[in-house]
Amino acid sequence: MNKTIIGGALAGAALLTATACGGDARQMTGEFGAPPTPYIAATESPKYGAQTDSQKRSVKKLEEVGQAAMKAVPGSTLVSMETEENGSLWEVQVVDDKGVEHQMDVESDKAKVVSGPRAEDDENAGDKARYLDRVKATKIDYAQAAAKVLAAVPGGRITEINLDSHRDKIVWEVDVVPPNGSKQDMTVDATDGTVTKDSHSD
């Protein structure tokens, strides 16, 4: 075999390898100096969508509090939660499968029920039916609603979530405090997840 051809082929291969693996230093390190900073996207969750680490922590904490409340009333659905005692407690309300509302206090840090649950004995048949209708129509739960609001208000802190009806729609009404401290009232459609901001927010 011709040694000249083999040598030429090897040289060509070496040149291609050098080019592909960084022959041009500017392509490997940016135009000058240090390597370019990679773009780090928010982590994608199958249930909540794209989330930053901070959002994930906030939603996880809310979810843990809600799960503790629903565990205390088997078969129930969370319909409301509001911060108490400077955020150390959540006042949580769940509705059982008969439409009866139960209220309790859940410690925020440990997600532990510390008071209740207490059934609301003064509810009439109409109240119970209304609760059940809202729960049945809901496709976006409280944690998903929280995740959507925190995505819309980066760095925000949720202080209240409440399942309600508004203009013939079932919605989550969410109070969130952004980093500047000015409370915002947000609404999340409980059927399709659309997020809107109340025009009267502070």
H/E stretch holding 130:
helix 125-137
Maximum distance among all alpha carbons in the chain? 100
Confidence category of residue 201, pLDDT binned at 50, 70, 90: low
Cβ 46 vs Cβ 62: under 8 Å = no
CB 104 within 8 A of CB 118: yes
pLDDT tens across 19-57, in order? Answer: 444 444 434 333 434 444 333 344 555 566 566 777 788
φ and ψ at residue 69, rounded to 5 degrees: -65, -45
The torsion defined by the Cα of 192, 194, 198 and 202, in degrees rounded to 10, comes to: 120
CA distance 66 to 60: 10
| Residue 108 tokens, joined | 């925020």
* pLDDT reading at 196 higher than 50: yes
> Could you tell me which residue, 30 or 169, shows the higher pLDDT?
169
pTM recorded for the entire structure:
0.72
Indicate the residue type of 50: A
| 113 within 8 A of 103, measured Cβ to Cβ | no
CB 76 within 8 A of CB 103: no
CA distance 111 to 69: 9
Angstrom distance (rounded) from CA 49 to CA 45: 5
Closest CA to 76 of 59, 100, 60, 105: 100
User: What average pLDDT score do residues 196-202 get?
Assistant: 69
68-77 tens-digit pLDDT: 999 999 999 9
Give me the pLDDT at residue 87, please.
83
Task: Tell me how far the alpha carbon of residue 68 is from its chain's centroid.
Answer: 18
Q: Choose among 150, 172, 173: nearest CA to 55.
A: 150
Q: Would you call 65 helix, strand, or coil by DSSP?
A: helix
Q: What is the pLDDT of residues 121-154, one digit of tens each?
A: 777 888 899 899 999 999 999 999 999 999 999 8
Q: Is the predicted pLDDT of residue 4 greater than 80, yes or no?
A: no
